[in-house]
Amino acid sequence: MKSSRLTWSTGWVVALLLAGSTWAQSAAERCKEFLEYGLPSDRGALLCRSGFALSHDEDKKAPVWVAQRMTPERLVSRVQRSNRFAPDPELPKGKRAELEDYRGSGYDRGHMAPAADMRWSAQAMEESFYLSNMAPQVGPGMNRGIWSEIESAIRTWVAQRGELFIYTGPIFETLKIAKIGPNQVAVPTHFYKVVFDPIRVETIAFVVPNSPHPNRKIDEFITSVRDIEQRTGLNFLNRINPAVQALIEESVAASLW
């Protein structure tokens, strides 16, 4: 497999990454800490939080994408996991998931931006439990298994590498989408994660089916960013120089970082 590693000096990496790009998207300006390298799409309602930004699909009652900027400083644990799940107060009733949608559904309320990434701030922790940051996810072997392992691996990479940008969301690949609850919350067939290291100019990406995966390793789910874009219609890292964007998005990481 091709590797996304580039061996450039960091002195001019940022200039090349941003060359020729336009930062005129007013929506992205509002959440620019998390969207420095571009808005993945203008689909849905853009919501800016303390620890992440997201685009919410009012038809599916689920995020389109959730963007994070993680740094070693944000790995410091100052607050405990809250478990205070709640509907998003910025979204109107009828256009959002409610707690009763998940009751008895057999699905976990699967975080896109993980609660474990938000221990640095009480507000960030609280906002991570809004249902706008979640989608129905199989629990054993998925949310409480391989997906959690991917999230943990990313925190390790943040500690080792420094600043990383992370994009997470659902994929729907069936003509008839399964739905749960009175508000008809859509059930994804897969979930994706895209991780971008702006210093080393590398990406690693994962797609995981929404099903149990006992005895599987996370490197079995590595894919390319381009694969995720084709399956979702999103456009990640679009503020980067197009030639660089194409190179790192079409490459597949040869191994875990």
Does 6 map to a domain? no
Does 237 map to a domain? yes
Quick: pLDDT tens for 194-207. 999 999 999 999 99
Does 1 map to a domain? no
Split into its structural domains, the chain has a count of: 1
pLDDT > 90 fraction of the chain, expressed in percent and rounded: 87
Q: For this structure, is 111 an active site residue?
A: yes
**Are the C-beta atoms of residues 239 and 221 closer than 8 Å to each other?**
no
Q: How far apart are CA 10 and CA 16, in angstroms?
A: 10
**Are the C-beta atoms of residues 87 and 131 closer than 8 Å to each other?**
yes
- The whole-number average pLDDT for the span 50-70 is 98
At 191, phi and psi to the nearest 5?
A: -130, 150
**Structure tokens given for 151:** 């999230």
**Structure tokens given for 139:** 């629990």
CATH classification at residue 111: 3.40.570.10
pLDDT > 70 fraction of the chain, expressed in percent and rounded: 89
Does 2 map to a domain? no
Q: Looking up tokens 């960091």, which residue turns up?
A: 10
Quick: pLDDT tens for 27-58. 567 799 999 999 999 999 999 999 999 999 99
Task: Print the domain residue range for 60.
Answer: 13-250
Angle of helix 225-232 relative to helix 242-250, nearest 10 degrees?
Answer: 100
SS3 assignment, position 55: strand
Does 23 map to a domain? yes
Does 123 map to a domain? yes
Predicted structure pTM score: 0.90
Half-sphere exposure of 197 (CA within 13 A, CB side): 23
Report whether pLDDT(18) > 70: no
